[in-house]
């Protein structure tokens, strides 16, 4: 069994997840890198990090999520940290109710909500066994304030926030459960937007939030890593949005 702490970071081949994996590895944590599709990028990242491994799995599928946790235990013999970063969205104007079809709702909830649930339920016995297990869910400011890329996305993240609190109450004292809720972060997440629209959104945020800039993946990753060592915090949804939640 590995003596170093072990972290499983879902959706970690790029963006926030990759930044989290790098910071954890820099702190001496052994990391399992994961993605559903970006296999080459995931393997390349794992190759960069000391002792890391890559496991492909789609966490929206319960069988694959369970197998992902099992592979972690097979590789390292323990699991101390679970970071649920895998997520998806659709960019749909909030007033276009027809475009937010039942299929869109199901797709987003399968990944953003059920994916979190599948990995947590599979991981809990191992997190309890570690003696200091913790979960950090990557949510969104859209789950706290009425905004975001689409209504189904925002509602899915609100569900993650409430799941975080419910599980923190249920799993303590053995396992801590917290979440980070980023605002607009400059990552490949916005590749689905027209470049002009993406730049316009970033410029708008940088012009109005109190810290007067768009967030970076490292900004969010630092908050995630801090929560993994914050021994007296559980059930918290930590906004990482440059103060955007303070706006009227």
Q: What is the mean pLDDT of each run of 10 residues along the chain (248 residues)?
A: 88 97 98 97 98 98 98 98 97 97 98 98 98 97 94 98 98 98 85 70 86 94 98 98 88
Cβ neighbours of 147 (radius 10 Å)? 14
Give residue 56's pLDDT: 98
In a domain, 51, yes or no: yes
232 is an active site residue: no
Give residue 71's pLDDT: 98
Rounded to an integer, what distance in angstroms lies between the CA atom of residue 182 and that of residue 241?
5
In a domain, 69, yes or no: yes
Cβ neighbours of 166 (radius 10 Å)? 12
Q: Which of 54, 153, 190, 232 is catalytic?
A: 153
Give residue 3's pLDDT: 85
- The total number of structural domains that make up the chain: 1
Q: Is 150 helix (H, G, I), strand (E, B) or coil?
A: coil
In a domain, 49, yes or no: yes
Give residue 191's pLDDT: 63
Give residue 219's pLDDT: 97
Give residue 192's pLDDT: 61
Cβ neighbours of 18 (radius 10 Å)? 27
Give residue 187's pLDDT: 82
In a domain, 144, yes or no: yes
* Residue-range definition of the domain harbouring residue 213: 6-239
In a domain, 247, yes or no: no
In a domain, 206, yes or no: yes
Selection from 247, 248, 239 nearest residue 215 by Cα: 239
In a domain, 80, yes or no: yes
CA angle 162, 113, 226 (to 5 degrees): 65
> Over the stretch 150-187, which tens digit does the pLDDT of each residue have?
999 999 999 999 999 999 999 999 999 999 999 999 88
Enter the tokens of residue 4: 């170093």
Model confidence, pTM: 0.95
Q: Is 245 helix (H, G, I), strand (E, B) or coil?
A: helix
In a domain, 1, yes or no: no
CATH number of the domain at 62, please.
Answer: 3.40.50.720
Rounded to an integer, what distance in angstroms lies between the CA atom of residue 120 and that of residue 66?
9
Give residue 48's pLDDT: 97
């Amino acid at each position: 069994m590995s003596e170093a702490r072990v972290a499983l970071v879902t959706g970690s081949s790029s963006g926030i997840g990759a930044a989290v994996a790098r910071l954890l590895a820099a702190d001496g944590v052994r990391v399992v890198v994961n993605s559903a599709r970006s296999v080459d990028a995931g393997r390349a990242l794992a190759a960069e990090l000391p002792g890391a491994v890559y496991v492909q799995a789609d966490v929206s599928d319960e069988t694959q999520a369970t197998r992902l946790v099992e592979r972690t235990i097979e590789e390292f013999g323990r699991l101390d940290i679970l970071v649920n970063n895998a997520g998806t969205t659709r960019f749909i104007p909030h007033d276009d109710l027809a475009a937010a079809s039942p299929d869109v709702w199901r797709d987003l909830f399968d990944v953003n909500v059920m994916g979190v649930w599948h990995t947590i339920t599979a991981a809990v016995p191992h997190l309890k066994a570690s003696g200091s297990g913790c979960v950090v869910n990557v949510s969104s400011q859209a789950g706290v304030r009425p905004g975001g890329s689409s209504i189904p996305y925002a509602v899915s993240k609100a569900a993650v926030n409430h799941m975080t609190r419910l599980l923190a109450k249920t799993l303590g004292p053995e396992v801590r459960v917290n979440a980070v809720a980023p605002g607009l972060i400059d990552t490949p997440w916005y590749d689905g937007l027209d470049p002009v629209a993406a730049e316009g959104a970033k410029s708008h945020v940088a012009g109005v939030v109190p810290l007067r800039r768009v967030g970076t993946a490292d900004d969010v990753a630092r908050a995630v890593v801090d929560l993994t060592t914050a021994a007296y915090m559980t059930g918290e949804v930590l906004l990482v949005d440059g103060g955007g939640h303070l706006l009227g």
